[in-house]
Every structure is written in C-alpha cells, then in structure tokens.
A = this chain, B = another copy of it.
C-alpha cells in the first residue's frame, strides 16, 4: 500500500499489460526481444518503470505503420539508455517512421492506380496494361523485366 497512490513508481507486468491494452505474454515477449526492460523484486517479479508505457505506446504506433520489431529495437538502442524517451527522441523516431510510412503509402497508391487502370484492360493487353509494363516498380526482382511476361510468344 505504501508505494501505491499518488506516485506509484513501479508497475507490475499485469498493470503494464492492462494499461497498454496488450497481453502479459506480449510484454514478456518484448522484454525478451530487448525492447523494454525491468527490474525485479526480491520475489523475482518484474517491476517496470513508468517509461515503459511510453515505449510500448511507441511500439504500437510503429507496428501500425508496418515497422518490424527488430527495427523498433534498433531505434530504441540509439536512444540514451535507461531513460524515458524524451520529446526529442520521439520526434526523431516519429519523423523517420513517418517518412517510411509515406514511402509505403506512395507505393500502395501507385499500385492502386495501376489496378484501377488494369480493371479496364483485364491484363489481356501486352501493350496497354501498366501491370505488364516492365519498367515500373512492379518489376525488378530479377535480372531484366519479366514480371508479367505471360504470353509473349
């Protein structure tokens, strides 16, 4: 009781999970992955600094943008250790991720537009279908361009 109240310094794993809307197992998982850390009580239970809540919030947002945990972890490692991410830190992370997100949005938008055009062509016309255009970003996994080289013979 004495520690609770106005200035509860440490949180149990259950509290963290509940307040972030994630499962306890996910909190454990993120800790195993090194994204967050905790100290232990004498009884070996985890106690989390409040800052972990911000980190988890950042993790959730970053995941929504499609960023893998490994990359989130890399970003966290470049932060000053053992501190709550500051506004400045968050600014760096979020602006970088926003750029990534923008790139992904652009890619998807191009694809959507191509799909839109392609609805008319039905992927039947070699010359007209943008999805079959070898020089757009749909090609380019192999040497040369043969993504939709479907019936060139």
Q: Using a CB–CB distance below 8 Å, which chain A residues touch chain B?
A: 6, 8, 18-21, 50, 53-54, 57-58, 60-61, 64-66, 86-88, 90-91, 94-95, 97-98, 101-102, 104-105, 107-109, 111-112, 115-116, 118-124, 131-132, 138-139, 141-142, 146-151, 153
Contacts and interface: CB of A to CB of B under 8 A. Distances in A.
A111 B101 contact: yes
B21 A87 contact: no
Contact of A108 (B54, B65, B141): B65
B147 A54 contact: no
B102 A57 contact: no
Contact of A64 (B6, B86, B138): B138
A61 B119 contact: no
Contacts of A148: 57, 60
Nearest to A5: B153
Contact of A115 (B94, B107, B149): B94
Contacts of A108: 65-66, 101, 104-105, 108
Contacts of A121: 87
B111 A61 contact: yes
Nearest to A112: B101
Contacts of A86: 122
Contacts of A87: 121-124
